[in-house]
Amino acid sequence: MNESIIENAVSFVTELFRGNAGGHGADHTLRVYRNARLIAAEEPECDLFIVSLAALLHDADDHKLFQTENNANARGFLTKNGVSLSDAERILAAVNAVSFSQNGDRPPETPEGKIVQDADRLDAIGAVGVARTFAYGGEHGRDLADSLQHFHDKLLRLKDLMNTPTGRRMAARRHDFLIAFLRQYAAETGDSADGP
C-alpha cells in the first residue's frame, strides 16, 4: 500500500473540510478512516488501499457540502496523486455507495464499499453520533425536536443495516448508547423516549 498517497489524502481532507463545524469535518473523516481500517483487519478479502482512500474521500463530494459533479474533488485528488484508473474507479464506486441519503437501505456491492459504509454509519451512532446530530442540527437551524426526530428517522435503524460482522458488533454498543441517551433525555424533559 502506498502510504504517501494515504498521507496526502489525510492532508487533502484536512484542508478541504477546514472550518466545517456541522459534523462532517476532517475529524469525522479521520474517525471513519480509523473505523474502516479496524473493520478491514477482519475482512481478508478486501483491498486495504481501496478501503483507506475510499474512507478518506467518502465526503469529498458530499452533496450536502459541495456543489461538485462526477466526484470532482475526489477524482482530482486521485489523478493528481497518480492512482491508477482502475483503482480510482474502485475507490469512487465505494465512495458512491456509502451515503444513506443517496442509497438508503441498499448495501454496496463490493467488500470495500461495505466496509466504508459501515465505518461511516458507526460515526453516526454512539456518543459521537449524538454530538454530530446536534452539531449538524444547530448549523442548519433545527430545534431539539427536529434533531431528536433524526434518531427515529435514521440513527436507530443503522444497527440493523450494517454489512460486516465487525461493523455489527461495533454498532451494537453504540446503538445501546443511543437508547440510553433517549431514555435519559425523556426522563429529564418528561417527553416520551419513543419520539420527540
Mean pLDDT score across all residues of the chain? 90
Structural domain 3-189, CATH architecture = Orthogonal Bundle (1.10)
Cα four-point dihedral sign 169, 175, 181, 184: negative
Cα–Cα dist 43/51, whole Å: 11
> Tell me, what's the pLDDT at 196?
44
Span 128-168, pLDDT tens digits: 999 989 988 888 899 999 999 999 999 999 999 999 999 99
Is pTM beyond 0.85? Reply is yes
Per-residue model confidence as pLDDT tens digits over 104-117:
678 899 999 999 99
Cell numbers at 41, concatenated: 483487519
Which residues of the chain fall short of a pLDDT of 70? 1, 20-24, 100-104, 192-196
The pLDDT score that the predictor gives to residue 48 is: 96
